Structure 1
Amino acid sequence: MPEYQRFDAVACEFPRPRVPLLPALHWADIGFGGGTVAPALIDGTAVRHFARGRYAMHAACQAGGIGPGTVLLAPSYHCRTMIDPALALGGTVLFYAVDSDLTPRVDSIRALLAPRDHGIKALVLPHYFGFEQPPALLAAVSAVCRHHGIMLIEDCSHAWQVAAKRAQTGQANADHVLMASPYKFFGCEDGGVLWANPALFPITPPAKPGLLREIKAFKSAWSRNRAAHATATAAEPRDPALRGHDILERHDGPSAQYEPAMENKNSLALSRWVMRRTRIAPLVERRRRHYTQWLEAVAGARGGQALMPDLPDDCAPYMFPITIAEPDPVFYQLKHAGMPIFRWDDMAVSSCTVARNYRLHLLHLPCHQGLSAQQMAWMTALVSKALA
């Protein structure tokens, strides 16, 4: 039975983030004469839409043959929703090691595939934080998958632009698919996309949302748009002694974040409209500018450093990943101040030292296109001070 280590933050009484973690709908991003997303990425027989990326991953695992008695290979550094779909299908998950730059250890993958009775049907390869995995390494992993006859699932949940470049690869092959989470890139309310050979799709497409769900989504988008423009201010002082604690758990099924009833639900028409109409170039430029601001803010910091200090010319970053030397007190100081932070601190236990370390030491900080200059200034000053 899988073992998970989960950080329980209930006792911390953290305030709500003062800045949105993900982008909201901004009308300035919409091109009413048409967007700049290639139509083939959104429409066509080789594309399927889902309510969230995790359900696109579920369909990818199904296409790869994951089910009872079978195994999915996943990276040791992962969020729970990356592996939930395989567990929901009755499969199990084995974890390959990653290096400190989050590239997969091919030797670890080969070792897991060595036994004759490994039962492995598919392998997940993420493009973390919007950064494409190195081409040579991607080719090596792909070759290993082909040699062993297993499905390669490229997880582009963080990397819409990588998916845009590589989607055709998934659409043309029966043993290679790609999936993404567009709501992490566009200002839309939901969305998961799977690009695959049409022969791999079930005959019945996901069910379309009803009118009530569309109306609720429009109201949510409107309210998130207003909240996104709020001025970032420090949270009310909290007891600095409040601390969370780790819990060790064992269970076979998916996490509470996974809803089986949503597996065959289509994304909102509103979300797909936003995707079709969004002007990509200014969105990417703002993300890159915010990422550069983060690099400048933490340059020379004693208490932390950027995990990915070089921003490739074609990269549209999802988050700014930073490793911190001391989670206690830095993480608590930032969270109590209202800083928006993702941290994958609910993770399956593995032998990978990098994953074990990054679980609490790697923070994901927002750099999305919806952040105002004031919000960026507040966040960078807060983090710079905490890491000084």
Structure 2
Amino acid sequence: MTEPRPKIPIAPVLSRASFGAPSGNAGSAGRRPASVLDAGQVRKVTSGRVAIALALREMGARAGDEVLVPAYHSPSMVPPVLWCGAEPVFYRIAADASVDLADVAARIGPATRAIMVTHYFGFPQDMAAIRALCDAHGLQLLEDCAHAFFGEHGGRPLGSWGDYAIASSMKFFPTYEGGCLVSSRCRLDGVVLHSAGPGFEAKAALAALENSFAYGRLPLLRAALGPLLRLKDLAWRALKSRRTTATSGAAAAPAPDASALAPASSDSGFDFEPRWVDKRSSWFSRAVMRLASTRRIAGLRRRHYLALEQAARALPGCRPLFASLPEGVVPWQCPLVFDDPETVFERLHAAGVPLVRFAQLRWPGVDATTCANSAMLARRVLALPCHQALREDELAWMAAQLRAALQPKAEAA
């Protein structure tokens, strides 16, 4: 008899996992993990891409400037550059996802204003060398901590090496939206944020709750709020029906769009909505970040990562992208490199395993001729979730599916 397939969240959802006493291997005797919030002044915004736009605006990026962007990237990193009027110039990375400093140096020109550097999957780049390169050329450094809300390098929190840093809090906390702009070198007095209004505040809270309920978390709260959520759905459908019904021969009013209440947040998105640049993160998201146990989040993420890494090391045709999990690293996902990624992806996807293929979609024109390693990693790396909301049975099930995808005959026997 086939066991039921669990529905596993690809990102953290609201549950007890993010709150309470520390758990697992948080590193350094379980001390509170360093985070971008420790790196300097902070502004909490609605997404990482909004934070990029604000950072570039504060840097003074404008038409005629160039911003160096890694060829291995989320396409959402590029529209903020264009919004400022600047031009993205893509630099190469090495096969281990480290910055190719020689290529960066070769691409620096008189129009170069800033360099973006990404800590992929939560693993730090060599920030001392990158900072030295920026200082030598008089360039500003934008430290992309979208994958690395927690972590440190060289005894300093990630986010403290750049002139500005950005983070995506929704990747690490069970919230619907959220990002951070941080600076350890510059004041953020010019970044004035406002509430996006009651509709946004309500959607941020309800969406986080409904996402949790959809994955079977917080069943008692779901039962208690069930009637209210059904009433909300009925009210929304009634509103849509009224607005799409033409009256007296007049043209129908446009139907309300729930997505307009909050910004796009897809990692693979190519869009950018300037109206969210001056909006702060919701009260709900900020409250969750304040109340969550960062020691518990870090410990569980490290423990889950190590469990998946151990399962992968025992399998043929598969290896972790990073050789080890250093002290202080709190991973976003568990990236694995496959010899036959398409076959494995098809099998895991068919089984219902949630997967991230970071940079599979890149900015148009950025291909293997731009950076062979970026194209290779985008094709061969499949990342499994290791967030704190995963349950032990879900981790075991994902490990079993990984074994079945790489050893189908042995599993069938």
Aligned partner of 2:75 in structure 1 is 80
User: Is the counterpart of residue 161 in structure 1 residue 153 in structure 2?
Assistant: no
Task: Tell me how far apart the structure 1 counterparts of residues 405 and 204 of structure 2 sit (CA, whole Å).
Answer: 37
SS at match of 2:404: helix
Q: Deviations over 1:1-57 (max 9, x none)?
A: xxxxxxxxxxxxxxx99311110122453359xxx688992899x211210011001
Shift of residue 198, structure 1, vs aligned partner: 8.1
Aligned partner of 2:193 in structure 1 is 206
Q: What amino acid does structure 1 have at the position aligned with 2:117?
A: L
Instruction: Give the structure-2-normalised TM-score.
Output: 0.75
2:10 to 11, 14, 21: 21
Shift of residue 300, structure 1, vs aligned partner: 3.2
Alpha-carbon spacing, 1:125–1:205, altered in 2? closer, same or farther (3 Å): same
Aligned partner of 2:296 in structure 1 is 282
Task: Tell me how far apart the structure 2 counterparts of residues 83 and 17 of structure 1 sit (CA, whole Å).
Answer: 35
Aligned partner of 2:254 in structure 1 is none
SS at match of 1:123: strand
Task: Tell me how far apart the structure 2 counterparts of residues 346 and 109 of structure 1 sit (CA, whole Å).
Answer: 22
1:104 to 90, 99, 111: 99
Aligned partner of 2:405 in structure 1 is 386
Alpha-carbon spacing, 1:75–1:39, altered in 2? closer, same or farther (3 Å): closer
SS at match of 2:192: coil
The answer (yes or no) to whether the contact 2:48–2:179 under 8 Å persists in 1 is yes
The answer (yes or no) to whether the contact 1:125–1:155 under 8 Å persists in 2 is yes
Instruction: Give the structure-1-normalised TM-score.
Output: 0.79
Task: Tell me how far apart the structure 2 counterparts of residues 17 and 75 of structure 1 sit (CA, whole Å).
Answer: 36
Task: Tell me how far apart the structure 1 counterparts of residues 372 and 308 of structure 2 sit (CA, whole Å).
Answer: 27
Which stretch has the larger CA shift, 58-67 or 156-165?
A: 156-165
Shift of residue 167, structure 1, vs aligned partner: 6.2
Q: Deviations over 1:187-218 (max 9, x none)?
A: 22211111126855463512213222222222
Shift of residue 90, structure 1, vs aligned partner: 2.2
Q: Deviations over 1:325-380 (max 9, x none)?
A: 12332212222222211112111314211101112211121000000112111111
Q: What amino acid does structure 1 have at the position aligned with 2:112?
A: I
1:330 to 344, 352, 364: 344
The answer (yes or no) to whether the contact 1:228–1:370 under 8 Å persists in 2 is no
Task: Tell me how far apart the structure 1 counterparts of residues 328 and 34 of structure 2 sit (CA, whole Å).
Answer: 17
Q: Deviations over 1:221-268 (max 9, x none)?
A: 2222223337xxxxxxxxxxxxxxxxxxxxxxx954422222222111
Structure with larger Rg? 2
Task: Tell me how far apart the structure 2 counterparts of residues 342 and 27 of structure 1 sit (CA, whole Å).
Answer: 24
Alpha-carbon spacing, 1:216–1:358, altered in 2? closer, same or farther (3 Å): same
Aligned partner of 1:41 in structure 2 is 37
SS at match of 2:114: strand
Task: Tell me how far apart the structure 2 counterparts of residues 111 and 37 of structure 1 sit (CA, whole Å).
Answer: 36
Which stretch has the larger CA shift, 47-56 or 220-229?
A: 220-229
Task: Tell me how far apart the structure 2 counterparts of residues 82 and 212 of structure 1 sit (CA, whole Å).
Answer: 27
Shift of residue 321, structure 1, vs aligned partner: 0.4
Shift of residue 278, structure 1, vs aligned partner: 1.1
Aligned partner of 1:265 in structure 2 is 279
The aligned runs of 1:123-272 (5 Å cut-off) are: 123-133=115-125, 137-162=126-151, 165-166=156-157, 169=160, 176-196=163-183, 201=188, 203=190, 205-229=192-216, 256-272=270-286
Shift of residue 104, structure 1, vs aligned partner: 0.4
SS at match of 1:161: coil
Task: Tell me how far apart the structure 2 counterparts of residues 39 and 325 of structure 1 sit (CA, whole Å).
Answer: 34
1:361 to 380, 401, 405: 380
Runs (5+) with no aligned partner, structure 1: 1-15, 231-253
Task: Tell me how far apart the structure 1 counterparts of residues 158 and 327 of structure 2 sit (CA, whole Å).
Answer: 20
The answer (yes or no) to whether the contact 2:355–2:382 under 8 Å persists in 1 is yes
Q: Deviations over 1:48-82 (max 9, x none)?
A: 12100110011111122322211111111111112
Alpha-carbon spacing, 1:17–1:378, altered in 2? closer, same or farther (3 Å): closer
Shift of residue 318, structure 1, vs aligned partner: 0.8
Aligned partner of 2:87 in structure 1 is 92
Alpha-carbon spacing, 1:43–1:200, altered in 2? closer, same or farther (3 Å): closer
The answer (yes or no) to whether the contact 1:37–1:276 under 8 Å persists in 2 is no
Task: Tell me how far apart the structure 2 counterparts of residues 168 and 369 of structure 1 sit (CA, whole Å).
Answer: 22
Which stretch has the larger CA shift, 358-367 or 206-215?
A: 206-215
Q: What amino acid does structure 2 have at the position aligned with 1:385?
A: A
Q: What amino acid does structure 2 have at the position aligned with 1:159?
A: A
Alpha-carbon spacing, 1:313–1:373, altered in 2? closer, same or farther (3 Å): same
Q: State the Cα RMSD in Å.
A: 2.7
Give % identity.
32
User: Is the counterpart of residue 295 in structure 1 residue 309 in structure 2?
Assistant: yes
Aligned partner of 2:26 in structure 1 is none
Q: What amino acid does structure 2 have at the position aligned with 1:217?
A: A
Aligned partner of 1:59 in structure 2 is 54
SS at match of 2:295: helix
SS at match of 1:284: helix
